[in-house]
Amino acid sequence: MNATTARVLYIDDEENNLHAFKASFRRQYEIYTANSAAEGLKILENISVHVIIADQKMPLMTGVEFFRSIVHTYPDPIRILLTGYTDIEALADAINHGDIYRYITKPWNDLELHNSIKNAYDAYKTKIDLRNKIAELEKTNDELNRFIYSISHELRAPLVSAMGIVNLVKMEGLFESSGEYWSLIETCSNKLDYYVQKTLQYYKNSKEISTHTSIDFKALIPSLIDLYSFTDKETCFHTDIKQDIPFYGDAFRIEVILGNLISNAIKYQKEDSINKKVDIEIQVRSTEAEITITDNGMGILNEHLEKIFTQFFKIKTNQGSGLGLFIVKEALNKIDGKISVKSNSLEGTTFKITIPNVK
């Protein structure tokens, strides 16, 4: 037998059928036979079988029952049912639940059974090939993500140094000494730092295991507002946080979610507005936290509302990286949260999210 020959296990309580099967197909396939479900299971424990054929009408356990009993422990072998009588309900149920690939009536036709085994073996190889390719893709994707994370992390060191130099120039009163050059360097450095941070957020969100800790929204929200509003002191924040009970959740992802939404609420204000404002309301309940973030900014067009959570989608203003809301949605998916959005160009945008209170 060469390495590509299909290994076939045939289970039937009638010895004559086992001998006939082996005599008919021993030249085409590597044949194993068993006269009971228990004996068939022993063979599976020691031999990697590609195709399993079982008779439906066997004592103690029918063919369908046997297939169901091994579906989790031996999911790969392709299953074919032989039946000498018509049991439409049992067959339909088995097929619908994926327990069998095909059924053949007895007495079988050698050519029909041969073609069924061949097709089943092809299906087996396709399944294994697909699994191997998925594993290779996952490995490649993981390596790519780790590479991007490493590069992004390394970029931050020289970038922070450049931003530090700009701050020193400001402190020494030389910021305007070279026209717009220092301002351009500062703008480009800030933009690059923003992209790097979003890349790191994306990587950490996709890899980090969810851990639940106590979260105090009354302390968290002001710290996030201070962090993201330092570049725009014109936007006024109003907060209404009702938290009288403990809340437990994934602190990292909740900070990522709220940080991106607060950052966007500031970033997408109308430039000529003299009344920039953001309202944040939080209601903590025993089962969940309901958070509403409303701004009176430029709003989002209806045609864009369904796309804003798509990776790299940016509106015509060309601000941002197109990753912020995508990361928000991915982070919410990780913690079983939900988000909805309402927006128009006159009143601004409202994001409403719910996050489970995990006790």
Question: 140: exposed, middle or buried (C-beta count within 10 Å: 0-12, 13-18, 19+)?
Answer: exposed
Over residues 169-190, the pLDDT tens digits come to 888 888 888 778 888 888 888 7
Tell me how far apart the alpha carbons of residues 221 and 203 are, in angstroms, rounded to a whole number: 24
- Label the pairing between strands 236-242 and 277-284: parallel
pLDDT at 117 over 50: yes
Q: Which comes out higher in pLDDT, residue 146 or 39?
A: 39
Give residue-wise pLDDT tens across range 8-23.
999 999 999 999 999 9
pLDDT value of residue 339: 95
Domain 213-356: CATH superfamily is Histidine kinase-like ATPase, C-terminal domain (3.30.565.10)
Specify the pLDDT at position 85.
63
> Which amino acid appears at position 141 of this protein?
N
pLDDT of res. 320? 57
Which of 137-151, 203-217, 278-292 reaches the highest mean pLDDT?
A: 278-292
- Most confidently predicted of 31-40, 152-161, 300-309: 31-40
Higher pLDDT, 122 or 177: 122
**106 or 320, greater pLDDT:** 106
Is 276 or 229 the better-scoring residue by pLDDT?
A: 276
Q: Which two tokens stand for residue 279?
A: 């309202």
Taking each helix axis as running N to C, give the angle between helix 37-46 and helix 63-70, from 0 to 180 degrees, rounded to the nearest 10: 30
* The pLDDT of residue 98 is above 70: no
The answer on pLDDT for 228 being more than 90 is: no
Percent of the chain with pLDDT strictly greater than 70: 91
Higher pLDDT, 148 or 112: 112
Q: What is the mean pLDDT of residues 343-354?
A: 92
CB 357 within 8 A of CB 287: yes
Give bridge partners of residue 34 from the DSSP assignment.
Answer: 11
Q: How many CB atoms lie within 10 A of CB 31?
A: 21
Count of residues making up the chain: 359
Whether the pLDDT of residue 1 is over 50: the answer is no
Four-residue CA torsion sign, 60, 61, 63, 66: negative
Q: What is the pTM of this model?
A: 0.57
pLDDT in tens, 247-303: 999 999 999 999 999 988 998 888 778 889 999 999 999 999 999 999 998 888 887
CA dist., res. 152 & res. 150, Å (int):
5
- Average pLDDT (113-134) is 94
Domain boundaries, the chain: 7-108, 141-207, 213-356
**Could you tell me which residues come within 8 angstroms of residue 131 by beta carbon, excluding any fewer than 6 positions away?**
none
> In this predicted structure, what is the pLDDT of residue 244?
94
How confident is the model over 322-326, as a mean pLDDT? 81
> What does the H/E/C string look like for 220-272?
HHHHHHHHHCCCCCCCEEEEEEECCCCCEECHHHHHHHHHHHHHHHHHCCCCC
Asked whether residue 317 carries a pLDDT value surpassing 80, the answer given is no
CB atoms < 10 A from the CB of 40, how many?
A: 26
The per-residue pLDDT for 185 is 87
Half-sphere exposure of residue 38: CA atoms within 13 angstroms, side-chain side: 2
Cα 26 to Cα 4: distance, rounded to the nearest angstrom = 15
pLDDT class for 353, splitting at 50, 70, 90?
very high
pLDDT tens-digit series, residues 328-346: 999 999 999 999 999 988 8
Instruction: Give the pLDDT of residue 316.
Output: 55
Give, in order, the Cα–Cα distances in Å from 223 to each of 85, 99, 228, 264: 73, 55, 9, 16
Name the superfamily (CATH) of residues 7-108.
Response regulator (3.40.50.2300)
Same fold: 7-108 with 213-356: no
